[in-house]
Amino acid sequence: MQKCVSVHNSAERLVSDVIKPGLCSGCGACIGYCPYIKSFGERVGVVHDCKKSEGTCYRVCPRAATSFTNLRKIPFGDVETDPVFGSFKEINYARACDEDIRSRGQYGGVVTALSIYALQTGVIDSALMTGGSFTGARPFIASSAGEILACTGSKYTAAPNLSVFQDAVKEGFNNIGVVGRPCQCTAARKMQQVAEIKGERISLIIGLFCMGSFSPEFYKFIKEKGLDEYEKMDIPGDVNFKKDNKETSLPYDEVREYIRNSCSICFDPLSELADLSVGSTEYDYGWNTLIIRSEKGSNLAKEAAANGIIEIKEYPAPRLPLLRKAVFNKKKRVLERPDATYLEISGQEREYFLANGGGA
């Protein structure tokens, strides 16, 4: 197990435990506090050793020692957790009511609709999002409805959204929303605990489902294949590319090698530590799956539904076991890996997955 207390300093540990073994998820959480850690596109590098033993960089890294048991207590308290889905109040289908948001969104546009609503009701005053396109993702601080709308759509690479958190603090934002992949939600919960970086200013976390993101080499592959002329990419099974009425697709096996190594040790495909988690339905692509987790997330989603911002309907009961099985299998695969040493979960939880059947 990796431990937070060691004779080595933080930057050294970040390099030896995370960056060198290829386990950096590109979340961006370690960027912006000191001049010695830089992001180069979607890669992170330590350019100088700072000699600090309790540096923020290692403390907030989602691939440094991570106790889900402890982190869950921040948003959910001491409640019992579903080992597969995490803590939740409800799992539903949902979509944005606004047709324009739906047509621009990846699926039902729930992330965009809820982020705009959170901004307009003062729950957040800005959101760390991903701008650009699937051929060039960029971290972005969105502070208007138009800017949030401009960030719609999934970019399947690892945009380091959290790298601009310190910029948002410097710009004077006090209630910062985070939209991110599961690793970014884990990092954001860790950041909330660090007063020196004003982590308490993170006020809402909307997490995406994520079974993996692509390494920067994926951009080169897309270009070589001439796929950069398309506007939207999706992975409903095969990898689909669309522009207006033009469509093409590739078998997933052709892109599998570009999945970041870090994703193979990710225990959290559903962004368990978020206030709200949003994914596809893998069934009806005009809708999202919406997992309502925390009290804060619940208030926002319920209010948004009551005010005609999102539409919520019941999750089809026969489909829930399929989601449960996919997540169970992913978690089990991770626990079986000898290099998933960052993960600290209880023996009971580990046993649930590793014992035959596991009850999923």
Ligand X SMILES: Cc1cc2nc3c(=O)[nH]c(=O)nc-3n(C[C@H](O)[C@H](O)[C@H](O)COP(=O)(O)OP(=O)(O)OC[C@H]3O[C@@H](n4cnc5c(N)ncnc54)[C@H](O)[C@@H]3O)c2cc1C
Q: Assess contact for 240 and 247: CB atoms under 8 A.
A: yes
Distances from the Cα of 347 to the Cαs of 96, 123, 340, 343, 352, in angstroms?
40, 37, 15, 12, 9
- Number of residues engaging ligand X in binding (CB under 6 A): 32
| Residue of the chain from 11, 15, 141, 151 that contacts ligand X (CB under 6 A) | 151
Those residues with Cβ within 8 angstroms of residue 351's Cβ, 6 or more apart along the chain or in another chain: none
Min separation Cβ 50 and ligand X, Å: 28
Check residue 141 for interaction with ligand X (CB under 6 A).
no
DSSP 271-308: -TTSSEEEE--SS-TTSEEEEE-SHHHHHHHHHHHHTT
Binding mask 66-105 for ligand X (x = CB under 6 A): ---------------------------------------x
- What is the x/- site pattern for ligand X, positions 284-313, by CB under 6 A? ----x-------------------------
Within 10 Å of residue 316's Cβ, how many Cβ atoms?
12
Identity of the residue, 25 or 294, whose beta carbon is nearer to ligand X in the bound complex:
25
| Binding test (CB under 6 A) with ligand X, winner from 75, 86, 109, 182 | 109
Q: Is 140 helix (H, G, I), strand (E, B) or coil?
A: strand
The residue range among 145-153, 222-230, 238-246, 331-339 that interacts with ligand X, by the rule CB under 6 A, is 145-153
The full DSSP string for 307-354 is: TTSEEEEEPPGGGHHHHHHHHHHHHHHHHT-TT-TTEE--HHHHHHHH
Q: Which of 111, 233, 273, 300 binds ligand X (CB under 6 A)?
A: 111
User: Which of 68, 85, 209, 267 contacts ligand X by CB under 6 A?
Assistant: 209
Residues that bind ligand X (CB under 6 A): 105-112, 129-130, 137, 151-157, 159, 161, 179-181, 208-211, 213, 278-280, 288
